[in-house]
Amino acid sequence: MFRAIVDDDGRVMKMSAQDTDCTVPIPDSMLGTNFDGWRFRDGSWVEVPLPPISNFSLDDLLSPYEGSDNSVIHAMLSLARLEPGENIIDLGSGDGRVLVAAVNDFNAGTPARPCIGWELQNQIYQLAETTLNEKLTEDVKNRVRIVCGNALDAIDDVKNADVVTLFLMPYGIDKLVPMLNSAMPVHDNKRRLVSYMYPVFAWEPAEETMTLENGTRLFMYRR
């Protein structure tokens, strides 16, 4: 379990692994009275139902898990102008729905250059494997795979990506920037990165943005 501490107005000030002094910074957009379906009591600690962190250090966490809506996933891949046969690398791939949409709806990936997801949390990685097995037909399963590991180690995959997708907190994106700079140097603007909700501040301004119906923004960068 994680816990969140709130101020007297009910705003989330920080999150901590239970019984540790480690904290996870919370961006301004997530300060509020409700997180992940739980309501906070003013000025008190409240448990937040995030997955257990048994297979990694809290310091490695780039973002808490939150499943993406299918309409958001399609908007991200459309903004990236994902073409048939191109591959994507999804950093922090959660339950694998981005990979499923890329293969099933955009005809992305090939056996030689598959779409790849990187997911740190073992429990969520297993959920993603189940999603891929259930949502992909046998003839396309060789066009996608998922890695249980730290996205900071995905440099070789990112170097070979046509599109990179992110749904991470700002502190997680900032941690990735050195790896992204190395793996995706500015070249011919053919490679794209799309970030949901938060920009890559080190790369601002984005080449294109999209505002969804709920007001959330997508940011697309060409490299």
- Alpha helices by DSSP H, listed for 1-151, are 70-79, 97-106, 122-135
Q: Looking at residue 61, what is its pLDDT?
A: 58
Q: Which two tokens stand for residue 42?
A: 């003013």
pTM greater than 0.75: no
pLDDT tens-place values along the chain, 223 residues long: 445 555 555 444 554 444 333 344 444 444 443 344 333 443 344 444 444 444 444 455 565 566 678 899 999 999 999 999 999 999 988 889 999 999 999 999 999 999 999 998 787 888 889 999 999 999 999 999 999 999 999 999 999 999 999 988 888 899 999 999 999 999 889 999 999 989 999 998 899 999 998 888 999 999 9
Q: Looking at residue 58, what is its pLDDT?
A: 45
Domain ranges of the chain: 2-50, 70-222
Q: Residue 63: phi, psi to the nearest 5?
A: -175, 145
Q: Looking at residue 66, what is its pLDDT?
A: 64
Q: Looking at residue 124, what is its pLDDT?
A: 83
Provide the CB-side half-sphere exposure for 38 (13 A, CA): 18
Q: Looking at residue 109, what is its pLDDT?
A: 98
205: cis peptide before it, omega within 30°? yes
Q: Which CATH superfamily is domain 70-222 in?
A: Vaccinia Virus protein VP39 (3.40.50.150)
Separation CA 108–CA 192 (nearest Å): 14
With both helix axes pointing from N to C terminus, report the angle between 70-79 and 97-106 in degrees, rounded to the nearest 10: 60
